[in-house]
A and B are shown apart, each in its own frame.
Chain A
Amino acid sequence: MEHVIDIQHLSKSFGAHEVLKDIDFSVDKGEVVCIIGSSGSGKSTLLRCVNLLENPSGGRIIYKGVNILDDNHDVYAYRTKLGMVFQQFNLFNNHNVLDNCIVGQTKVLKHSREDAKKVAMKYLKVVGMEQYINAKPKQLSGGQKQRVAIARALSMEPDVMLFDEPTSALDPEMVEEVLKVMKQLAEIGLTMLIVTHEMEFAKDVADRVVFMDGGVIVEEGCPEQIFNNPTQERTREFLKRILK
């Protein structure tokens, strides 16, 4: 299988605090990988290192055969290939829904506005927000904001989508509408790396589940293995706590 992203010996420290320790991990094309683990285990940091919102302290991130941590590598071009969805949505407050999905295409990818609009409408339709293109972010509910944020990331037509707890800031009744969209993306074969506390969703949608604890990957495997027959004591403890 072809790796879209291949992470080797990745480490990250904040001062003396070593948050990620020697992480080896890859994502294949079309794969849906869910990262689970307790709070503070380094899941967000791993995701943020992958698109270089955090600067890794060591290791390699191989994308298309080159290490993007090499000094002369174009970070900005690389980031356009990864779509990021944040827990807090982070829609651009000064743009309406449509422009949120267009601005990256026109300003970064240098596409024409007409082309950008077609692409944006396509993905806004995917997330079911095409009727709201004139709305400003502050006029939307949390679930709607997150769906627009997903459309914004998709509009860049990235190779991989990264999700950092996309439903954790949502009221319970809005979680489902976002998970539904994500499930739909998984079905059409999008490559996705998802940090989540939604165990049912992970069981249901993931091709592979990664359990992290204390800055290391403790165990990874298909959902049946991780949830039904974990080999590691730490995984068992975590699942017992969270699924009780």
Chain B
Amino acid sequence: MSFDWIVKIMSENWLMFIRGAGITLYISIIGTILGFIIGLLVGVIRTIPIPERGVKKVILKIINFILSVYIEIFRGTPMIVQAMVIYYGAALAFDIDMNRLSAALFIVSINTGAYMSEIVRGGIVSIDKGQFEAAHAIGMNHIQTMVNVILPQVIRNILPATGNEFVINIKDTSVLNVISVTELYFQTKSVAGNNFRYFESFFITCIIYFIMTFTVTRILRSIERKIDGPDNYVMYANQMQVDRPENMMNRTTNDI
């Protein structure tokens, strides 16, 4: 009877499931965060306005080319194949025996980074041009404009897409079992390999995956609401000592 088996497998192997789920969460959290940071950096670099001439133009063009190659390659190949190529490739080419977990983190981050770069770029170009102009008009450079005005808006707007990447990562880390990372899928395979109850073992895993993705989705929604803040504002009763309008020409920097 299946249900009895499920209980039995759970009670005998709970530590392995928990460990596997822990590794899965760990890889997907770190991978999503690093990928997010990569995405922001690449997105910001790719939206630097290209000057009409000069050395800076050439350098920017080259960097942009390299970044598009990165994005296209990692979006255009399956992560399971990337895992094999990077893990065994590193061993073959550089004689590096990568730690499996580091390899996993590297692969997930760089993969997420490729997707996030496009999401961030889309987020940046969808921000009203007036926001950039207003920032430039008060003297901000590209980096200041990005950090103080554009990215906060972009990050808010791409939060749903980032949550989506996170959920995808929780599920897709399962492919890392091909390089024997002891995440949830790999652990389940071991459990099932011992007891030969494939359905029951994977059914448990199925539930664990769902609990993880569902919880993450809920948490992200509440973060979104937090960022949006309250719908109304508090009127400010003026108690500050403020200059009268007539005195406003007495400026702190009097240098015309």
Contact = CB atoms under 8 A, between A and B. Distances in A.
A108 B242 contact: no
Interface string B235-256: 1111010110110110111001
A125 B245 contact: yes
B127 to A, nearest CB: 9
Contacts of A122: 242-243, 248
Contact of A157 (B130, B243, B246, B253): B253
Interface string A124-159: 011000111111100100000000010011101101
A51 interface: yes
B148 A103 contact: yes
A38 interface: no
A212 interface: no
A121 B234 CA distance: 16
Interface stretch (A92-100, A171-179, A194-202, A234-242): A92-100
Interface stretch (B132-140, B162-170, B196-204): B132-140
Given A184-B245, A189-B249, A153 B156 contact: no
B180 interface: no
Nearest to B130: A90
Interface in A92-128: 92-96, 103-104, 107-109, 115, 118-119, 121-123, 125-126
Interface SS of B by simple majority: loop
A118 B250 CA distance: 14
Contacts of A130: 236, 238, 242
Given A90-B134, A184-B245, A131 B236 contact: yes
Contacts of B152: 94
Given A80-B139, A108-B138, A157-B252, A93 B245 contact: no
Interface of A: 2, 4, 29, 51, 53, 55, 76-80, 82-84, 86, 88-96, 103-104, 107-109, 115, 118-119, 121-123, 125-126, 130-136, 139, 149, 152-154, 156-157, 159, 184, 188-190
Interface of B: 52, 128, 130-131, 133-141, 144, 148-149, 152-153, 156, 229, 232-238, 240, 242-243, 245-246, 248-249, 251-253, 256
Closest CB pairs A-B (n = 6): A90-B130, A80-B139, A104-B138, A90-B134, A84-B137, A135-B233
